[in-house]
C-alpha cells in the first residue's frame, strides 16, 4: 500500500487525529481512512500529542554514508596494491581479483560486499573487462574418481621477493576436481614427479590412468631426421624413469596433445597462481617454505570450501560421496612382486653388466656384486634422500636383491634427480 504522506497532507491527518483525541472519531475509522494498522496509528497519534503545532508526516531520509571510512580506505588501499601487481611485468598477474580483496579485508575484520568493491574499482579506474574464454579442442570426461589423474607442473616467479622461480607440481582427480597432490619444488626433476606419484598412490591408492603432457620426464618424443643426424630411437621407444614407475605399479598413461586439452588442471593452476602470487607479493614472502604455507591454505579453500563452477559441488564432498557409493577406480596400493619395499617401486633405474671381475661401474663408483655370474646384466635401483643426504643403491638380479649400500648423495653430482 502507498505510504500515508503520498495520499494525505499533514493537515488532513492532523484533523483526523484531533477528532480522535476529542472522541469524535473512533480508532477503527481513522485507521480505515488512512489505510494503516494499529501500530502505525498509535505512532502517529503519539507524535501528534507531543507537539500538535509541529506535527508533520513528511518523510526525511537521512543522508549518512553507506560504508565506514575505514572500510572505504581499506578498499582503496587494496585496489592500489592490485594495480601495482598487474603493472609488475615480472609477475604472472594480468587481471584484478576482487574476491581476493574481499578475503583479505575479512581477515582484518573489515566487511564489504563484492559488488561494493567492484563498484569502487570502476570508480577508481581499477577495472578490466573479462577476456573471452578460449574453446578447448579436447575434453576428458570421466564417471568415477580415480579414472583419470591430471598431472602437471607450473613454472612461475611465485613471489617478487624470491631469488628464483619455483615449480608447482599438482595432481587433480578429473571426476571430482579435487587436488590430491600439490607442492612446490625448486627444480622440476624426474625424481620430484616420482615422489609426487608415490605420495598420491600411498594415500589414495592406484588410479586407473594418469594424464600428462609430452614433457621429456613423461615421454620420449623424437624430432624428425635431418641432413646432419639420423635418429635411431623413435617416439616412445625410449622408456623414461617416471613411465617405468607407472608400468611397475600397473597404472596406464595417456598424453595430452596440447595445453588446451588439459583444461581441467590448467584452470586450477590459474586460480592458485593468482591467489598465491598476490599473497606472496603483498605479505613480502621470499622463501619456498613460506610459500608452502600459503599453498596449503589455498588448497584447503579450493578443495573444502569452494563450489566448483563446472560440477556445482565442493570438490572434497564430491570425492567423498563417490568413494562412499563405491564409484571409484582407485585400487589399494600393494607392493608388486618380487619387491618387498617401496624403495624398489619408486626409484630411478639403471642397468649394468658385470665385468670379468664381478664388478660394475656406476657414476665413477666401482661396486662389487656378489652371487651373480660374470657378464650378467643387473638392474640398479637408486633412491636419493635429500633430508639425510644419502643415496640408497639396491642391485637386483634374477628377481632378487643381491646387494645394497648407502652412499653420500654428494658423490653423485652427475645425476639430475
Each residue of 172-195: pLDDT tens digit?
A: 999 999 999 999 999 888 999 999
Q: Is the pLDDT of residue 395 over 50?
A: yes
Query: At CB < 8 A and 24+ separation, what contacts does 369-373 make?
Result: 369/395, 369/397, 369/402, 369/403, 370/402, 370/403, 371/397, 371/402, 372/397, 372/402
Q: Where are the chain's structural domains?
A: 4-54, 69-124, 149-222+234-324, 342-411
| pLDDT computed for residue 407 by the predictor | 92
pLDDT digits (tens, 9 = 90+) for 260-286: 555 555 566 677 888 888 888 888 899
User: Residue 170: helix, strand or coil by DSSP?
Assistant: strand
3-state SS, residue 59: coil
User: Which pLDDT value is given to residue 182?
Assistant: 95
| Structure confidence at residue 291 (pLDDT) | 94
Per-position DSSP letters for 171-211, written without gaps between them: EEETTT--EEEEEEESS--HHHHHHHHHHHHHHH-B-SEEE
Q: Cell for 130?
A: 573479462
pLDDT single digits (tens) 288-346: 999 999 999 999 999 998 888 788 899 999 999 999 999 999 999 999 999 999 999 99
* pLDDT at residue 268, as a whole number: 67
**Cell 581499506 found at:** 74
pLDDT, position 319: 97
Distance of alpha carbon 395 from alpha carbon 371, whole angstroms: 11
Q: Which of 74-78, 141-145, 342-346 holds the top average pLDDT?
A: 342-346
Statement: residue 196 has pLDDT above 80: yes
CA distances from 379 to 287, 407, 416 (A): 39, 17, 19
Higher-confidence position of 257 and 134 = 257
Q: Taking 80 as the threshold, does the pLDDT of residue 89 lie above it?
A: no
CA-CA distance, 169 to 167, in Å (whole number)? 6
Q: How confident is the model at residue 415 (pLDDT cuts 50, 70, 90)?
A: low
Report the b/e string of 182-220 with b at 16+ CB within 10 A.
bbbbeebbbbbbbbbbbebbeebbbbbbbbbbeeebbbe
What does the block give as the cell for 161? 621477493
pLDDT class for 224, splitting at 50, 70, 90? very low
CA distance 329 to 214: 24
pLDDT of residue 263: 53
Residue 231 has pLDDT above 50, yes or no: no
C-alpha–C-alpha distance, residues 170 and 153, integer Å: 6
Calculate the average pLDDT of the chain: 84
Residue 58 has pLDDT above 80, yes or no: no
The CATH number of the domain covering residues in 149-222+234-324: 3.30.420.10
pLDDT class of 228 with cuts at 50, 70, 90: very low
Compute CA distances 46 → 40, 55, 164, whole Å.
10, 10, 74
Helix/strand/coil (H/E/C) assignment for every residue in 225-271 = CCCCCCCCCCCCCCCCHHHHHHHHHCCEEEECCCHHHHHHHHHHHHH
Q: Is 134 helix (H, G, I), strand (E, B) or coil?
A: coil
Percent of the chain with pLDDT over 90: 42
Amino acid at each position: 500500500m502507498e505510504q500515508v504522506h503520498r495520499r494525505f497532507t499533514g493537515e488532513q491527518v492532523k484533523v483526523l487525529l484531533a477528532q480522535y483525541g476529542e472522541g469524535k472519531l473512533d480508532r477503527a475509522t481513522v485507521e480505515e481512512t488512512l489505510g494503516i494498522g494499529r501500530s502505525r496509528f498509535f505512532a502517529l497519534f503519539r507524535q501528534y500529542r507531543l507537539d500538535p503545532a509541529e506535527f508533520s508526516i513528511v518523510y526525511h531520509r537521512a543522508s549518512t554514508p553507506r560504508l565506514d571510512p575505514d572500510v572505504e580506505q581499506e578498499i582503496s588501499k587494496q585496489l592500489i596494491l592490485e594495480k601495482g601487481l598487474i603493472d609488475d611485468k615480472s609477475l604472472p598477474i594480468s587481471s584484478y581479483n576482487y574476491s581476493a580483496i574481499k578475503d583479505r579485508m575479512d581477515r582484518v575484520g573489515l566487511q564489504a560486499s563484492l559488488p561494493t568493491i567492484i563498484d569502487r574499482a570502476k570508480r577508481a579506474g581499477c577495472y578490466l573487462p573479462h577476456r573471452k574464454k578460449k574453446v578447448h579442442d579436447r575434453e576428458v570426461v570421466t564417471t568415477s574418481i580415480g579414472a583419470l589423474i591430471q598431472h602437471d607442473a607450473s613454472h612461475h616467479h611465485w613471489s617478487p621477493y624470491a631469488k628464483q622461480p619455483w615449480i608447482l607440481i599438482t595432481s587433480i582427480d578429473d571426476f571430482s576436481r579435487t587436488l590430491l597432490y600439490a607442492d612446490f619444488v625448486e627444480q622440476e626433476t624426474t625424481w620430484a614427479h616420482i615422489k609426487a606419484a608415490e605420495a598420491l598412490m600411498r594415500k589414495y591408492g592406484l588410479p586407473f590412468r594418469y594424464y600428462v603432457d609430452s614433457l621429456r620426464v613423461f615421454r620420449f618424443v623424437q624430432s624428425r631426421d635431418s641432413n646432419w643426424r639420423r635418429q635411431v630411437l623413435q617416439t616412445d621407444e625410449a622408456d623414461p624413469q617416471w613411465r617405468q614407475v607407472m608400468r611397475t605399479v600397473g597404472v596406464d598413461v595417456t598424453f595430452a596433445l596440447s595445453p588446451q586439452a588439459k583444461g581441467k588442471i590448467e584452470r586450477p593452476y590459474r586460480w592458485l597462481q593468482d591467489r598465491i602470487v598476490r599473497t606472496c607479493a603483498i605479505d613480502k614472502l621470499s622463501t619456498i617454505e613460506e610459500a608452502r604455507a600459503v599453498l596449503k591454505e589455498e588448497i584447503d579453500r579450493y578443495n573444502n570450501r569452494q563450489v566448483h563452477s563446472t560440477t556445482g559441488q565442493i570438490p572434497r564432498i564430491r570425492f567423498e560421496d563417490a568413494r562412499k557409493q563405491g564409484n571409484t577406480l582407485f585400487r589399494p596400493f600393494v607392493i608388486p612382486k618380487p619387491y618387498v619395499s617401496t624403495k624398489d617401486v619408486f626409484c630411478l633405474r639403471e642397468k649394468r653388466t658385470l665385468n670379468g671381475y664381478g664388478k660394475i661401474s656406476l657414476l665413477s663408483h666401482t661396486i662389487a656384486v656378489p652371487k651373480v655370474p660374470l657378464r650378467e646384466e643387473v638392474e640398479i635401483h637408486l633412491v636419493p634422500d635429500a633430508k639425510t643426504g644419502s643415496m640408497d643403491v639396491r642391485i637386483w638380479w634374477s628377481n632378487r636383491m643381491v646387494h645394497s649400500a648407502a652412499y653420500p648423495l654428494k658423490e653423485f653430482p652427475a645425476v639430475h634427480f
